[in-house]
Amino acid sequence: MLEVLVRRHHDDLLRFLYRLTGSRTTAEDVFQEAFLQVHLSAGTFDASRRFKPWLFTIAANKARDFLRKNARRRTLDLDAPVGRGRSGGDGGEATFVDLMALDGLTPPEVFDETQRDAKVQQAISSMPLLMREILLLAYFQRMSYSQIADALNIPLGTVKSRLHSAVAAFAKAWNQVNPPEATSTNGSAEP
């Protein structure tokens, strides 16, 4: 049963943890710790509630603990291997750059997408943890306000006010990593 849950939530949870921690290695470590905690706490799970918010609560708490213990920030090389068994374009292990490349995009478009993703990660990483966490749950995991409230064990009104603050903080961070005067190749301002 645990194996089924790990497989079902693997990609979403790893993406969430990567964005939250800014490190693939840390995300994988926290992912394992979260599922170990799920296994140890299975008896306390309220079966009348949804599993995903409970899992993300545990994972977010584990990530917060890790980030507190390791206060220094680490960066992730986009050329770092993603995981075992995936093959990249050169026959080697797939990297984040390989995963960001979408079929049909020309090399300049892929480069632009990669740059944008790196800037998004940089902006998110510069935000305070509470804001980063709620932004990721709402926009990247597409959880509803009530699911976020359950996952973070906070009132619905707090979710709304934190999310409002998080969006404003992201906009400010985005403008710092991607100044408004920056222009794209067609001469128009980038979004």
Which among 75, 101, 134 is the end of a domain? 75
How many structural domains are present in the chain?
2
CATH of the domain at 137: 1.10.10.10
With a CB cutoff of 8 Å and minimum separation 6, the contacts of 93 are: 81, 82, 83, 84, 86, 87
* Structural element, H or E, at residue 11: helix 2-21
* Residue 98 placed within a domain: no
Question: What pLDDT shows up at residue 189?
Answer: 47
CB 187 within 8 A of CB 179: no
Q: What is the pLDDT of residue 96?
A: 56
Are 131 and 169 a contacting pair, CB within 8 Å? Answer: yes
For residue 188, tell me if it sits in a domain: no
Neighbours of 167 (CB within 10 A): 15
In-domain check, residue 116: no
Is 96 part of a structural domain of the chain? no
pLDDT tens readout for residues 149-167: 888 888 999 999 999 999 9
State how far the Cα of 144 lies from the Cα of 138, in Å rounded to an integer: 7
Q: What's the pLDDT at 150? A: 86
pLDDT, tens digit (0-9, with 9 covering 90-100), for 37-87: 988 888 888 888 888 888 998 998 898 888 888 765 455 555 666 554 444
Domain of 33 in residue numbering reads as: 1-75
Domain-located, residue 104? no
Q: What does the pLDDT read at residue 165?
A: 92
- What tokens appear for 163 in the block? 């999310």
Number of other CB atoms surrounding residue 18 within 10 Å: 22
Interval 76-135: pLDDT, tens: 555 666 554 444 444 556 665 565 554 555 556 555 777 888 888 888 888 988 899 899
Asked if 69 and 134 sit in the same domain, the reply is no
Closest by CA to 115, choosing from 90, 136, 96, 140, is: 96
Return d(Cα 5, Cα 65) in angstroms, integer: 23
The answer for residues whose C-beta is within 8 angstroms of residue 176's C-beta and 6 or more apart is 123, 126
Centroid of chain to Cα 90:
27
Residue 25 covered by a domain: yes
DSSP 145-190: HHHHHHHHT--HHHHHHHHHHHHHHHHHHHHHHS-TT-B-TTSSBP
Of 75, 107, 140, which residue constitutes the final position of a domain?
75
Q: In this structure, what token pair is assigned to residue 76?
A: 């992730």
Burial class (CB within 10 angstroms; exposed 0-12, middle 13-18, buried 19+) of 57: middle
Helix or strand holding residue 16 (H, E): helix 2-21
Evaluate whether residue 105 is within a structural domain.
no
Among 15, 42, 75, the domain-final residue is: 75
